[in-house]
Structure 1
Amino acid sequence: MALDDTAPSIAGGAGAVEAEAVRPLLTAAELEELDAAYAPYARRDAYGSMGRGELRFPRRAELVLRAVLLVPVRFVAGMLLLVAYYLVCLACTLFVVDGVAEGRRPRLEGWRRVAVVRSGRALARAMLFVFGFYRIRVTDRSSPNADAEDTHQDQSEELEIPGAIVSNHVSYLDILYHMSVSFPSFVAKESVSRLPLVGLISKCLGCIFVQRESKASDSKGVSGAVTERVQEVCQDKNCPMMLLFPEGTTTNGDYLLPFKTGAFLARVPVQPVILRYPYTMFSPAWDSMDGARHVFLLLCQFVNYIEVIRLPVYYPSKQEKEDPKLYANNVRKLIATEGNLILSNLGLAEKRVYHAALNGNNSPIHQKDD
């Protein structure tokens, strides 16, 4: 999963123009109308659209105090955890020549795999603690009732192990939670594999690196690579389970976008998981805010919350195996119902239009959506 960078850049101009470029250029009425049209991406917490809403003096003073007391400590602690896990991954991949240097997933087995997984889970949970997620409320519905068991009994006899975790997508924090519990791999941009620290970690996670704009005729594409990996999970116990966000982008947490079929082409069972982030002032959802500002405000919040609902493994029927779109739609409806989420027909393209409008740009840059 590669979180999309939707805010367009505006070049040129003096300081005043640059200041305008980072603030909503709409009247209150226009902004309200825009938020209604693009409701899945509208930010409704105390900080408003793009996280730049006006705060009263007491709130601003409180924010400054939190920035002074919390941000430096949490930032340093987070970096130490990141470096610590990088060192674990570095030690576990020493003398492992199976594709590490070429950017491929290292085949870790035995103590190496155990060390990477166990330390990864622990440090991911520690990172969430640093971000203020001290307690995580989990509702486990993974034991289906008798009716649910009868529904797909004939299919579940063959495939008991899910090939992928399918989750709604609200924030980059989703990945940290899933790492702390299941330690799955996911889809990332190819450039991530070359990043300092994060590059090696993502390889040890078993990420699938893709070039979104690649037109090469020999390229399997994202869907092909995901299908191949999901099938591998069902055959190799050392292969990390895939974490897939079928919506393709993040929302404000109240909506569920249409599902892409990539997670369902392998025709194997999936594990549905629902994530919600209750809040009072700052919403951890990454919807209409730039990354740096989002991390800053997240670190300024004393306490953050995650609510998790783990649903039973979904075993596709024969008809669903033959029709990936039907499979995807049925899982989407289940997640929406169990998570009390609103179904929306919008997607990544509309999100980019919304972000462009917030920035006063009526001609958003059109990018290919995989």
Structure 2
Amino acid sequence: MNGKMHSETGAFSSDGMRAEILNPFVHKLELDNTYDKIKTAIFTVILLPFRVIVICYLIVTAWLIACIGLYGLSEEDLRRKPMTGWRRALKPLICFIGKLSYLAGGMAITIRGRQASRQEAPILVVAPHSSFLDSCIVYATKMSSVIVRKESMDNYVGKLINYTQPVYVWRDDPNSRQNTIKEIIERATSKEDWPQVLIFPEGTCTNRSCLITFKPGGFYPGVPVQPVTIRYPNARDTVTWTWEGPGALKLLWLTLTQIHSSCEIEFLPVYYPSEEEKRDPKLYARNVRDVMAKALGVPVLDYTYDDCRLIARAKQLGIPAAPSVREVSELRTHLGLERSQLELHVAAQGMSGRPRWVTSAEFFARLGISAADPHAQRLFDIFVQRSTGLASFPDYLLCAAFLSLQHAPLSQLLSYAFKLYDSTGTGRLTATHFEEVATRCLGLCQEDAQNTFRQADLDEKGYLTYDEFISYAQKKAEFCHIFATDAAHQKPKTQ
């Protein structure tokens, strides 16, 4: 193909590859045997301090060089025209030091393929995005311009990021999305010698099990792009940073206590858009994603950043099976449950006289789905208690209600929860049952749930009705979010 890939060739469909529903936002990592624990403890003492010192020295050195290179330049200067002369000549030195910092941490970076010039491809499209360590791509691509939130620049790394002459995203600007796309178009189509624009089109971190929906922002210019893939072919995955899994510090610790880690960066052939793709950025984004998925050997899933927000919201509230709510939603769609709203009808009737813990057969019978359907079995598995082999039916119904009412006030979900966890059918929750509701719908810890019950039960009756709790909550500032009209305003952590 002479180094070129056109939209009419190399199209890839994941339908045949997808054997099961994946959850790209979960990563489990544990030291599961004594040998690994002992080895990690030893290297924490004898290897980690040395690596941290060397890495800090290299980062500070690169930062000082960036400070020198940026001396006398304002942010407006960086946005108005590309660097030239001696300032630009410092970039290879910063990249060299940056690569050394990864090598000092035990990570070898292997580069395959050839990076296209800006004239060939003004935009680099990088995926999958799975770790804060993906920042090595900036050094590997000779400090291409990244897209960054302006508030992220208020730290010591800001100087290094500024040296890439980034495209800023202003979160407090109501026209942020349009302005960002406008600047990307201007950079990509400019006659001046700007750095290539580097984009992670997934918009959030995944576990690399698939490629999720690509945001179309980087495809609006309609110019050729070069797809770039990142792999971490290591025996133990200590780099993946997702919504459900180890935090950044734990991952950094475990990575730095590995003897050796690897990162593979591959530059794929430049993708030249068709006229149809130039007119339709979303189509362009999907087709580029298909090409990259084929190169990686992974399926594509139509998951988005909004799904991350949904998962974060579910975790914040304590919704049962929160990390898998996106998967639950898809399974319900496959099983026809989303259309029927059967679960909400059951929820409205309460659980009086019906066993809470159910076998798989009872689970399928209550929902009216076939036990032979693998999607049904997977849905049951998400809610099953491993020690007993039983699933909590109220937990499933609460999760289903959360998905159906995710944009409604939380008070509506609470009204269902009061019915679901009231085993007596009287519309009253004892302290124990209220604790279940509060930890599953309000994100309260056990102690706070108990204190809330005592304060709301003014007459010390030993139970609370939904109306009594709502009356109490309306007078408390800490529960004002219960009455918000859109749950999406609750912001999750960003990555």
TM class by smaller structure: 0.7 to 0.9
Kindly indicate whether residue 154 of structure 2 is the aligned counterpart of residue 188 of structure 1: no
User: Which of 39, 55, 63 is the equivalent residue of 2:32?
Assistant: 55
How far did residue 355 of structure 1 move?
Answer: 5.5
The 3-state SS of whatever aligns with 1:76 is: helix
The 3-state SS of whatever aligns with 1:309 is: strand
User: Which of 41, 44, 69 is the equivalent residue of 1:64?
Assistant: 41
Q: Which residue of 2 aligns with 1:129?
A: 103
CA contact (8 A) 2:168 2:180 kept: no
The 3-state SS of whatever aligns with 1:124 is: helix
CA contact (8 A) 1:140 1:311 kept: yes
CA contact (8 A) 1:142 1:310 kept: yes
How far did residue 223 of structure 1 move?
Answer: 4.8
Q: Deviations over 1:275-310 (max 9, x none)?
A: 111121233222232111111111111111122321
Pick closer, same or farther for the CA change 1:86–1:142 going to 2, 3 Å.
closer
The 3-state SS of whatever aligns with 1:134 is: strand
- Counterpart AA for 2:120: I
- Counterpart AA for 2:73: V
How far did residue 61 of structure 1 move?
Answer: 1.2
Kindly indicate whether residue 187 of structure 2 is the aligned counterpart of residue 214 of structure 1: no
User: Which of 190, 193, 206 is the equivalent residue of 1:235?
Assistant: 190
Q: Tell me which moved more, 352-361 or 203-212.
A: 352-361
Q: Deviations over 1:116-174 (max 9, x none)?
A: x11122122112212222251x332779xxxxxxxxxxxxxxx9531210011122222
Q: Which residue of 1 aligns with 2:124?
A: 165
Q: Which residue of 1 aligns with 2:112?
A: 139
Within 5 Å, give how 1:252-331 maps onto structure 2: 252-287=207-242, 288-331=245-288
How far did residue 351 of structure 1 move?
Answer: 3.1
Within 5 Å, give how 1:22-61 maps onto structure 2: 39-43=23-27, 49=28, 51=29, 53=30, 55-61=32-38
Q: Which residue of 2 aligns with 1:245?
A: 200
CA contact (8 A) 1:105 1:203 kept: no
CA contact (8 A) 2:227 2:271 kept: yes
Q: Deviations over 1:162-194 (max 9, x none)?
A: 121001112222221332333111111212222
Runs (5+) with no aligned partner, structure 2:
1-19, 320-440, 444-486
- Counterpart AA for 2:235: T
CA contact (8 A) 2:167 2:183 kept: no
Q: Distance in 1 between matches of 2:317 and 2:168?
A: 33
CA contact (8 A) 1:190 1:209 kept: yes
- Counterpart AA for 1:131: G
The 3-state SS of whatever aligns with 1:251 is: coil
Q: Tell me which moved more, 312-321 or 176-185.
A: 176-185
How far did residue 262 of structure 1 move?
Answer: 0.1
Q: Which residue of 2 aligns with 1:111?
A: 86
The 3-state SS of whatever aligns with 1:256 is: coil
How far did residue 95 of structure 1 move?
Answer: 2.9
Runs (5+) with no aligned partner, structure 1:
1-35, 44-48, 144-158
Q: Distance in 2 between matches of 1:122 and 1:240?
A: 17
How far did residue 358 of structure 1 move?
Answer: 6.5
CA RMSD in angstroms, aligned pairs only: 2.9
Kindly indicate whether residue 319 of structure 2 is the aligned counterpart of residue 342 of structure 1: no
Pick closer, same or farther for the CA change 1:135–1:206 going to 2, 3 Å.
closer
Q: Distance in 1 between matches of 2:59 and 2:154?
A: 16
Q: Distance in 2 between matches of 1:182 and 1:230?
A: 21
Q: Distance in 1 between matches of 2:203 and 2:164?
A: 20
User: Which of 49, 68, 93 is the equivalent residue of 2:70?
Assistant: 93
- Counterpart AA for 2:92: R
- Counterpart AA for 2:103: F
Pick closer, same or farther for the CA change 1:105–1:180 going to 2, 3 Å.
farther
CA contact (8 A) 2:59 2:98 kept: no
CA contact (8 A) 2:109 2:262 kept: yes
Q: Distance in 1 between matches of 2:150 and 2:279?
A: 31
- The TM-score normalised by the length of structure 2 is 0.56
Q: Deviations over 1:197-254 (max 9, x none)?
A: 2112211111222233532xxx3x2353244234324434541211101111111122
With a CA cutoff of 8 Å and minimum separation of 6, indicate the structure with the bigger relative contact order.
1
Structure with greater Cα Rg? 2
Pick closer, same or farther for the CA change 1:270–1:327 going to 2, 3 Å.
same
- The structure whose residues are more often helix, as a share, is 2
Q: Distance in 1 between matches of 2:317 and 2:250?
A: 19
Pick closer, same or farther for the CA change 1:349–1:38 going to 2, 3 Å.
farther
Q: Deviations over 1:3-59 (max 9, x none)?
A: xxxxxxxxxxxxxxxxxxxxxxxxxxxxxxxxx86521232xxxxx3x4x3533222
- The TM-score normalised by the length of structure 1 is 0.73
- Counterpart AA for 2:86: W
User: Which of 168, 173, 179 is the equivalent residue of 1:224?
Assistant: 179
Q: Which residue of 2 aligns with 1:22?
A: none
Q: Distance in 1 between matches of 2:237 and 2:38?
A: 16
CA contact (8 A) 1:277 1:285 kept: no
